[in-house]
Amino acid sequence: MQKRKLGKSGLEVSAIGLGCMGMSFGYGPAKDKQEMIPVIRAAVERGVTFFDTAEVYGPFINEELVGEALSPFRGQVVIATKFGFNLDPDTGKQAGLNSRPEHIKEVAEASLKRLKVDAIDLFYQHRVDPTVPIEDVAGAVKELIQEGKVKHFGLSEAGVKTIRRAHAVQPVTALQSEYSLWWREPEAEIIPTLEELGIGFVPFSPLGKGFLTGKIDENTTFDSTDFRSIVPRFSPEARKANQALVDLLGSIAQRLNATPAQISLAWILARKPWIVPIPGTTKLHRLEENLAAASIELSQGDLRDIESAASRVTVQGARYPESAQRMIDR
């Protein structure tokens, strides 16, 4: 597995990371921990050094899973986690945003224990909190870095102005936001700003929450605990319309003896050398399929074909329900 550096920070990670959220949260019922630990460890054996989690995934159980699975590999891997939500003490559900400095420090202490580490490698603000100046957030993480409890500061789904303001207080190592062939908004302002400032980019949902794998169609049904069941882009009508993009990708993939998922990931890797996607999976064979994308070299002609295919399809449906959309910083 090739390595990449996240911007100018010097933080080096595998070219493809592993998003661990879906093992515990978001995509149906939580999977059995004893079945997921071997998947995470298999990723390490195959060269993955970058793992993504958050306190809110579960909540808490995903950090515990990642901490246990990676405990034999201390010092060999980079673990990213996140702060920024209030969690209801009774139900564990999200109860609004909270990036107050004292809360950030409480979350850091709790995450350190669950992850079984002395320092959090990369600590992201999960969503921008409009009630707390981003300078205060960056300042709190800066203090944690000075105390040796955090190594790098990150933002998630932050807009350009927020990124600049945060970066002026504490250099931002990475921005994590959704980016794929079916969500390309970051190309307009975000990616040029990251390039200018020397910040790495970590796309989540690089396979369009599974849609770009070609394994989902208009007849697919989602469990009530799968958040795609309330995402407009995954309504049956939208899936039927969006299938055209997957079909075009599939024809390109067939010609290159690859899968649509591999072409989607290889396309992201070809965008910039400081972009590191973090596809998630709970299955070993999908992990291997995804990681193989790092060795696919797309020619300029291939990239033109992908661009041409993507330009012929207008993806239908919002990427989040309205309640989640309101948490996106602009």
Residue 63 has pLDDT above 90, yes or no: yes
- 73 within a domain of the structure (yes/no): yes
Query: Is the Cβ–Cβ distance between 43 and 294 less than 8 Å?
Result: no
Domain of 140, in residue numbers:
3-325
Residue at 297 is within a domain? yes
The CATH number of whichever domain residue 240 belongs to comes to 3.20.20.100
Is the per-residue pLDDT at 323 higher than 90? no
Spatial CA neighbour of 134 closest among 113, 116, 155, 151: 155
Q: For the residues 98-120, what does the mean pLDDT come to?
A: 98
301/10 Cα distance (integer angstroms): 32
- 52, 62, 245 from 267: Cα distances, Å: 21, 29, 14
* Residue 330 pLDDT level (bands cut at 50, 70, 90): confident
Predicted local distance difference test score (pLDDT) of residue 90: 75
Read off the pLDDT of residues 172-222 as tens digits, 9 standing for 90 and up.
Answer: 999 999 999 999 999 999 999 999 999 999 999 999 999 999 999 999 999
Q: What is the mean pLDDT of residues 255-264?
A: 97
For the chain, how many structural domains are there in total?
1
Residue 49 falls inside a structural domain: yes
pLDDT at residue number 193: 98
Whether the per-residue pLDDT at 66 is higher than 80: the answer is: yes
Give the model's confidence band at 272: pLDDT under 50 very low, under 70 low, under 90 confident, else very high: very high
Q: Does residue 195 fall inside a structural domain? A: yes
pLDDT band at 304 (very low <50, low <70, confident <90, very high): very high
Q: What's the mean pLDDT when you consider all of the chain?
A: 96
Task: Quote the CA–CA distance of 73 and 80 in Å, as a whole number.
Answer: 15
> Is 199 among the domain residues?
yes
Quick one: tokens of 4?
């990449």
- C-alpha 227/C-alpha 58 separation (Å) is 13
In a domain, 318, yes or no: yes
pLDDT attached to residue 319: 93
Mean pLDDT highest for which of 85-94, 192-201, 315-324? 192-201
- Residue 326's pLDDT band (cuts 50, 70, 90): confident
b (16+ CB within 10 A) / e for 45-78? ebebbbbbbbbbbbbbbbbbbbbbbbeeeeeebb
Does residue 330 fall inside a structural domain?
no
Instruction: Assess whether 57 carries a catalytic annotation.
Output: yes
Residue-wise pLDDT tens digits, 123-132: 999 999 999 9
Nearest 5°: phi and psi at 292?
-65, -20
Is 202 a domain residue?
yes
pLDDT surpasses 90 at 315: yes
3-state DSSP assignment of residue 329 = coil
Taking the C-alpha atoms of residue 97 and residue 126, their distance in angstroms, rounded to an integer, is 9
Q: pLDDT at residue 165 above 80?
A: yes
> How far is the CA of 168 from the CAs of 137, 142, 163, 286, in angstroms?
12, 11, 9, 40
Mean pLDDT, range 295-323, rounded to an integer = 94
Model pLDDT, residue 293: 98
Q: How far apart are CA 140 and CA 107, in angstroms?
A: 12
pLDDT score recorded for residue 80: 98
User: What average pLDDT score do residues 138-156 get?
Assistant: 98
Q: 57, 124, 179, 320: which is the annotated catalytic residue?
A: 57
Contacts of 147 (CB under 8 A, 6+ apart): none
Across the chain, the runs of DSSP E, i.e. the strands, are: 3-5, 12-14, 18-19, 50-52, 78-83, 85-87, 94-97, 120-125, 150-156, 172-178, 200-204
